[in-house]
Amino acid sequence: MIPLADLGSAGPVLLVLAVLSLLSVAVFLARLMALRGLGAGQAARDAWLDTLEGGGGGDPPVDIATPAGRIAQRAGVLLARGVPAPVLAADLEQLGNGEVGAMGRGIRLLELVGMIAPLLGLLGTVLGMIQSFRSLEMAEGAANAAILAGGIWQALLTTAAGLVVAIPAVVGAAILSARVERGTFALERLIGRVTLARTLRDGTPRP
């Protein structure tokens, strides 16, 4: 490992990039674990929804470990109270919005790391080039190629480091976003079917 003291102006930039890299990896892994199993209990919920749409009743499957499970539980409570379809839909949509927001936590941070890491790398490059030309100026034209090469490789190192940090962060954000989109679709489908079942029971047009 190259000591930070040997990296000149590139050292602080590389240190910041290292912190961002560790942060993005930690956030990605934590959110990936939190979003696993979003589809758990789907078959049981579908069977319950089929029963509701067929005019039957019954409590939803007990599952509060997933967003869809929690919304199904809330729907079961509201259906048992005989809440009208418009009120039911509004309540479940509000709860669903909260669940979607919770599922999407951390994605903006990864996107931010993906945006600023290349800029930090570019900043390190500019600082390294400034250092190289300042060394050339102080040598009054007597500087050899080794002095210039030292500043240039430091400058290019920060650019490469910025890209190495940014690319996984962007990929991680895309993976998490895809999972959130699938989870959101499942919530919308659940809320739509519950509202339809309530509407059919009320005998009123679907809103």
Tens-digit pLDDT profile for the chain (207 aa)?
444 445 556 678 888 999 999 999 999 999 999 888 888 888 888 888 888 888 777 778 877 788 988 999 898 888 888 888 889 899 999 999 999 999 999 999 999 999 999 999 888 888 877 777 776 666 665 555 666 666 677 778 888 999 999 999 999 999 999 999 999 999 999 999 898 888 877 664 444
Same domain, residue pair 31 and 112: yes
Return the pLDDT at 1. Answer: 46
- 128 and 161 assigned to the same domain: yes
Interatomic CA distance for residues 61 and 51, integer angstroms: 12
- 67 domain residue, yes or no: yes
Do 171 and 151 reside in the same domain of the chain?
yes
Q: How far is CA 97 from the centre of its chain?
A: 16
Looking at the fold, whether 27 and 53 belong to one and the same domain comes out as no
Q: Say whether both 15 and 80 belong to one domain.
A: no
Contact 52, 197 (CB under 8 A): yes
Counting the structural domains of the chain, the total is 2
Tokens (6 digits) for 38: 């979003």
pLDDT for position 41? 83
Nearest to 74 by CA among 56, 59, 86, 84: 59
What's the pLDDT score for residue 151? Answer: 66
Same domain, 163 and 113: yes
In a domain, 117, yes or no: yes
Length reported for the chain: 207
Domain containing 110: what range?
9-35+106-183
Residue 207: inside a domain = no
User: Please, which contacts does 28-36 make with residues 24 or more away whose CB atoms are closer than 8 Å?
Assistant: 28/106, 28/110, 28/168, 28/169, 28/172, 28/175, 28/176, 30/106, 31/105, 31/106, 31/107, 31/176, 32/175, 32/176, 35/103, 35/176, 35/179, 35/180, 35/183
Do 128 and 177 fall into the same domain? yes
